């Protein structure tokens, strides 16, 4: 969809529909909404008086203009309470409004810049939020479907209307950044939504290579022989049950000026392109969703795409250990012991706890190539879903400063997280009688014990682990996350890199 900014009075816009807004509790609309109300002979005010519309967040009032305006329809979107207005509410309201208009048949829509007026949000931030929300909210993965039988049309153009010419450059910059962030997230969503017969480890590597090539990034893959040479026994152990060869995907962006100066951010993402559980096979119900067990890998690839397109002055390396986890005559067995790249050994108690195994080697590799700060993203544990549901991502850290940076980035992006502890006592649960550690620690604190295992492979490198098992998929349309893959943590990681780029602190 095209998003553009135009110097124009709202009421003169010629398209299919207009979008204005209202805060909860407002009895008499003012500003652009008041102007639209006047043009519509008080139809908005009348709906408020009849309590048909109260301005609650995501509440919608669709009115036909009957020739009073050049457009066919005017949609009033509720923004909720004015004191609670923020950029994430603007993203969400923009998404809900445009999805509603698409369903109503609109193709060309004009909109005020939500939040830039009474909402008190700076112009570029508001236009960025509207753009992000619009593009992310209208996302659909229709690659394998024929044309929709209900005739739903695509919304092709969004025009942000502003009368003050002095604000145009700020608004256009916001649109530019919002598009980059949305498209980076969509890049990740598309991969997560792909079926596993299409997105194999090799295809994941191919898509990463194509993306890297288009942006001038450094790309390489480590093959099975390379993994053997480096001693990546944990990654190879998971991969041995599949006919598809594993890949360790490495994409590097060099944005900092001066070789070796400044922080070098490492992003590691779990890339299990299908997870059956291996010999410890999962229940068949819902197993089809395990095509998305590479959402962490998709997130870090989407993030480095966005970072490169924004040309941030920071060095970033994205690493994705990619493989399938399948049962076969060659598959890893419960009771096997694998030796990791670090030399530490892990007893495999449950082959369905494979993500932490492949990440163990990938984290060691990241430290080996010299990153100074490390964040991994993984659909790692069902225990995190039990603890936090689908609202917040679980976060774990060995460094207070890096955790603070990640928290600030998540707040700026509207991607909620919650830090969980890593007390030493939890490490007792993963002690093994036969190896340095075992890959599961029982039913208690499952998300924490998984993170405790990963902590063994980062050394003293500042590190944050993000468990997106509950947030990588949306069960229904809500705000700017339609049903399916969410692209969780792409925008947070870009915001984290932006913070590093704008700060001399390490």
Q: Is position 282 annotated as part of the catalytic site? A: yes
- Domain-wise residue ranges, the chain: 2-163, 181-501
- Beta-carbon contacts of 404 under 8 Å, excluding residues fewer than 6 positions away, are none
Residue 153: per-residue pLDDT? 74
* pLDDT(366) > 70: yes
Statement: 181-501 belongs to CATH 3.90.1560.10: no
Quick one: which of 211, 377, 186 has its CA closest to 305? Answer: 211
Q: Which two tokens stand for residue 247?
A: 């890949």
User: Looking up tokens 């939040």, which residue turns up?
Assistant: 115
Is residue 506 pLDDT above 90, yes or no?
no
pLDDT for 259 equals 57
pLDDT at position 215 is 98
Buried b (16+ CB within 10 A) or exposed e, 67-78: ebbebbbbbbbb
Cα distance between residue 465 and residue 192, in whole Å: 20
The Cα–Cα gap between 221 and 225 comes to 11
pLDDT (tens digit, 9 = 90+) per residue, 317-342?
999 999 999 999 999 999 999 999 99
Q: What is the pLDDT of residues 265-324, one digit of tens each?
A: 999 999 999 999 999 999 999 999 999 999 999 999 999 999 999 999 999 999 999 999
Residue 485 is predicted with a pLDDT of 98
Confidence of residue 75 (pLDDT cuts 50, 70, 90): very high
pLDDT in tens, 156-206: 999 999 999 999 999 999 999 999 999 999 999 999 999 999 999 999 999
What is the spatial distance between Cα 62 and Cα 53, in angstroms, rounded to a whole number? 10
CATH of segment(s) 2-163: 3.40.220.10
Which of 282, 339, 344, 416 is catalytic? The answer is: 282
Nearest Cα to Cα of residue 244 among 318, 301, 299, 326: 326
Cα-Cα-Cα-Cα dihedral sign, residues 380, 194, 493, 85: negative
Q: Of 356, 392, 405, 438, which is the active-site residue?
A: 356
Can 102 be counted among the known catalytic residues? no
The sign of the CA dihedral 150, 156, 160, 163 is negative
Q: Is the pLDDT of residue 261 over 90?
A: no
Question: Does residue 99 have a pLDDT over 60?
Answer: yes
pLDDT digits (tens, 9 = 90+) for 207-218: 999 999 999 999
Burial class (CB in 10 A: 0-12, 13-18, 19+), 343: exposed
pTM of the model: 0.96
Please tell me the predicted confidence (pLDDT) of residue 229: 98
CA torsion 250-254-259-264 (nearest 10°) is -60
């Amino acid at each position: 969809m095209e998003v553009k900014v135009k110097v124009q009075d709202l009421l003169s816009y010629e398209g299919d529909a207009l979008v204005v807004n209202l805060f909860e509790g407002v009895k008499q609309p003012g500003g652009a909404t008041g102007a639209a109300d006047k043009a519509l002979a008080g139809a908005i005010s009348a709906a408020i008086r009849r309590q048909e519309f109260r301005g609650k967040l995501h509440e919608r009032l669709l009115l036909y203009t009957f020739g009073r305006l050049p457009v066919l329809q005017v949609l009033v979107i509720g923004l909720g309470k004015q004191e609670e207005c923020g950029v994430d509410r603007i993203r969400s309201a923009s998404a809900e409004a445009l999805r509603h208009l698409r369903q109503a048949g609109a193709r060309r829509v004009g909109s005020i810049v939500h939040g830039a007026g009474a909402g008190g949000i700076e112009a570029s931030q508001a236009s960025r939020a509207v753009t992000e929300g619009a593009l992310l909210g209208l996302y659909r993965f229709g690659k394998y479907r024929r044309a929709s039988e209900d005739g739903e049309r695509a919304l092709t153009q969004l025009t942000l209307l502003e009368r003050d010419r002095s604000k145009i450059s700020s608004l256009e910059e916001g649109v530019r950044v919002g598009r980059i962030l949305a498209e980076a997230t969509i890049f990740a969503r598309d991969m997560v939504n792909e079926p596993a017969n299409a997105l194999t480890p090799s295809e994941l590597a191919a898509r990463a290579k194509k993306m890297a090539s288009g942006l001038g990034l450094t790309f390489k893959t480590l093959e099975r022989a390379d993994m053997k040479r480096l001693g990546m026994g944990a990654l190879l152990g998971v991969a041995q049950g599949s006919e598809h060869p594993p890949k360790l995907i490495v994409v590097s962006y060099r944005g900092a000026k001066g070789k070796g100066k400044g922080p070098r951010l490492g992003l590691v993402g779990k890339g299990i392109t299908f997870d059956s559980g291996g010999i410890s096979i999962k229940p068949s119900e819902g197993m089809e969703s395990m095509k998305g067990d590479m959402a962490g890998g998709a997130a870090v690839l989407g993030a480095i795409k966005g970072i490169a397109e924004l040309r941030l002055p920071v060095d970033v390396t994205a690493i994705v250990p990619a493989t399938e986890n399948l049962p076969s005559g060659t598959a890893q067995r419960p009771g096997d012991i694998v030796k990791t790249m670090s030399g530490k050994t892990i007893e495999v108690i449950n082959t369905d706890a494979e993500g932490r195994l492949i990440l163990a080697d990938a984290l060691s590799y990241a430290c080996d190539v010299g990153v100074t700060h490390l964040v991994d993203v993984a659909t790692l544990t069902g225990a995190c879903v039990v603890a936090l549901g689908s609202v917040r991502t679980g976060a774990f850290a060995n460094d207070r400063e890096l955790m603070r940076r990640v928290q600030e980035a998540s707040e700026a992006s509207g991607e909620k997280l919650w830090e969980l502890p890593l007390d030493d006592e939890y490490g007792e649960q993963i002690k093994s009688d036969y190896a340095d550690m075992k890959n599961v620690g029982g039913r208690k604190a499952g998300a924490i014990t998984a993170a405790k295992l990963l902590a063994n492979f980062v050394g003293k490198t500042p590190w944050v682990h993000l468990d997106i098992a509950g947030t990588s998929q949306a069960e229904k349309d809500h705000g700017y996350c339609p049903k399916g893959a969410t692209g969780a943590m792409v925008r947070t990681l870009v915001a984290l890199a932006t913070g590093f780029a704008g700060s001399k602190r390490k």
